[in-house]
Amino acid sequence: MANLLDQASIVLTPTAYDNGSMLSVKPENGDGDFTFSRASSATRVNANGLIESVVSEIPRVDYTDSSCGSWLLEPQATNLVITSDSGVYGSSPASEILETSPDGTNNAVRPVPSTGSNRYQETIAGGVYSSGQKLTYSWYRKRISTPVDDTFVGDLRINVLVNITVFEATTQIQSNINGYDRFQVVIQITDGSLSSIFRAYFGAIIGTGNSSVAYWGHQYEIGGYATSIIPTSGTTVTRNQDLATNSGNSTLINSSEGVFYVEIAALAEKTLVRYITISDGTASNRIIIYITDVGVIQFDVIVGGVTQAAKTMTGQTTTNFNKLAVSYKENDIRFYINGVKVKNDTTALAFPINTLNVINFAASNGTDSVFYGKTKALAVFKTALTDAELISLTTDINPTTNHIITENEDFIMTESGDHIVT
């Protein structure tokens, strides 16, 4: 069933975009395009494996996970480290050696210690936060040579100065971004009435020789996971949220029967509820595929304000890409995850109660429960599919490779492999 997506009325893959739009593969007249907004620049990993900046209102196709790329949608975040490429030194090294960084320029720092007791360290200025609030410190690291002191290479030691506990120990979250690995540590505020300060100590620079490790991309942000790097140079910088909404219409979405398919991955486990919906613009009539705040996948079909079918799936790693499908029609609602039928409901009310006419990477109003994550594919079918077709859709078919827009007078291929409108 290599051509199964040819039956779909809407197909979105990370292959084409314009200023303010994520462009659908099907239809080609623009009715399946998503309105996109982000009122700031942002970064991505391009097809060459380098971090690069993308200007405001341009969607990001990110290649961190694979050569195929995926749409990257993130929440607003502020980097509280004022100099992200070099950081700040407490007990200063004698000098620095510059190294090629994850963005391909010569701006990563390899500190040289001044004495045998100095380490590379960064003190994070205080702020008053809410009790229980999480903050994440992240950085990129590359080993250059065998270190003089290898006691915690690539790791981080936290010296809590005021009002902080370590919530999550150091973990690696990316690998081989131009030779660098990315790490994060999550901390938690213990008293919301006090200013919170901590100091990060980086290893492998004790001694009189050159440091064995280069560092880059220091980031400190509110939240329980690291978002894409936000470069700073002397002051804090905020990246605004990505928002993709308002695709489709009543001619492309059948309110009586159909299939809703996505291939998605969460940015992190157990953060916020993240919705992708087909609806009539209200909460009363909608089909929802979402990742919950406890890190599980859930399907809901709601008709006339009443939940007709629902399924919560545990045991899935939501940060991995999962292929999910909902097939719906009267007395026949089926949920599929990665080739497995997880529920078949034969008692649903008739469709439609109202007209399904809009798709949002958010709740039905387009602004609540915004989807923050990565998307390789989204498709809508105007008829229900057979079990065999749904198995194929959620296992065998790779929309990203099977449905690529060819170059023509309307599109050009960038050096990173993306199509943009000319």
Q: Are residues 113 and 231 in the same domain?
A: yes
Q: Which amino acid is at 122?
A: E
Residue 191: pLDDT band by 50, 70, 90 thresholds?
Answer: confident
Based on the structure, what is the number of domains in the chain? 2
Q: Are residues 92 and 161 in the same domain?
A: yes
Residue 254: pLDDT band by 50, 70, 90 thresholds?
Answer: very high
Evaluate whether 219 touches 229 at the Cβ level (below 8 Å). yes
Q: Are residues 213 and 299 in the same domain?
A: no
Q: How confident is the model at residue 152, as a pLDDT?
A: 44
**Can you tell me the mean pLDDT for 26-30?**
95
Task: Note if the pTM is more than 0.85.
Answer: yes
Q: How confident is the model at residue 195, as a pLDDT?
A: 77
Q: How confident is the model at residue 419, as a pLDDT?
A: 55
**Residue 246 sits in which domain range?**
4-75+242-421
Per-residue pLDDT at 273 exceeds 90: no
* Segment (H or E) for 177: strand 164-177
Q: Are residues 384 and 342 in the same domain?
A: yes
- DSSP-assigned beta bridge partners for residue 137: 185, 220
Name residues whose C-beta falls within 8 Å of residue 182's C-beta, 6 or more positions apart in sequence.
Answer: 138, 139, 140, 141, 172, 173, 174, 175, 217, 226
DSSP-derived secondary structure for 309-363? EEEEE-S--TTS-EEEEEEEETTEEEEEETTEEEEEE--PPPS-SS---EEESSS
Q: Are residues 67 and 139 in the same domain?
A: no
CATH number at residue 21: 2.60.120.200
Per-residue pLDDT tens digits for 300-311: 999 989 999 999
Per-residue pLDDT at 107 exceeds 70: yes
C-alpha 244/C-alpha 276 separation (Å) is: 10
Last residue of one domain, picked from the residues 239, 262, 293: 239
Q: Are residues 130 and 227 in the same domain?
A: yes
Q: Of the given ranges (71-75, 198-202, 316-320, 365-369), which has the lowest mean pLDDT?
A: 198-202
Q: Are residues 262 and 381 in the same domain?
A: yes
Q: Are residues 11 and 92 in the same domain?
A: no
pLDDT > 90 in the chain, percent: 56
Per-residue pLDDT tens digits for 313-330: 888 899 999 999 999 999
Q: Are residues 218 and 259 in the same domain?
A: no
Last residue of one domain, picked from the residues 239, 273, 288: 239
Q: Are residues 252 and 321 in the same domain?
A: yes
Per-residue pLDDT at 130 exceeds 80: yes
Per-residue pLDDT tens digits for 146-164: 555 444 444 455 566 677 7
Residue 353 or 69, more confident: 69
Q: Of the given ranges (15-19, 85-89, 256-260, 411-415), which has the lowest mean pLDDT?
A: 411-415
Residue 264: pLDDT band by 50, 70, 90 thresholds?
Answer: very high
Last residue of one domain, picked from the residues 201, 218, 239: 239
Per-residue pLDDT tens digits for 381-393: 999 999 999 999 9
Residue 122 or 207, more confident: 122
Q: Are residues 65 and 87 in the same domain?
A: no
CATH number at residue 231: 2.60.120
Evaluate whether 206 touches 117 at the Cβ level (below 8 Å). yes
Q: Are residues 259 and 364 in the same domain?
A: yes
